[in-house]
Structure 1
Amino acid sequence: MAAVIDLYIEYAKSRLEPATLEERKRYFQSFAESHGFRGVNDRECLPYHLTAWVDSHTEWESDWTRSHAVSIIHRPFN
């Protein structure tokens, strides 16, 4: 997964404002630290991994923040 995220960051550099990209990088880094070693396939990359990562961030109290984090992580894989 980390390789897909890295490719997305390269793609996004010319399309996003620097502040927006930096915000997304923080989410990507956190997710990659937890699951970046996994392959992008239907055996190693499961919805559970994303929800477990979100649930591990107890500081994200609002539904908006949690939903925003999920939408950021979805982008490289869409």
Structure 2
Amino acid sequence: MALMITDECINCDVCEPACPNTAIYQGEEIYEINPDLCTECVGHYDKPQCQQVCPIDCIPRDPDKVESKEQLMEKYHKITASN
């Protein structure tokens, strides 16, 4: 399941550099997450780094982007193979 950033985001800039897949970017009003690049840090860390550093806890799982740990690991391998 990819993560998402809710409109409670205060644009504090700490989540973007914490993402190992560069899935987080500045949107028109708040930071956003590209679900094609979000692996919830599977393959990199035990926990999603953006959630760990977010001071207001506005990065939940996206219920519209449900993926298993296996699917997230497969995505991780595809992303890192192109690097």
* TM-score, length-scaled by structure 1: 0.29
* TM-score, length-scaled by structure 2: 0.28
Structure that is richer in strand per residue: 2
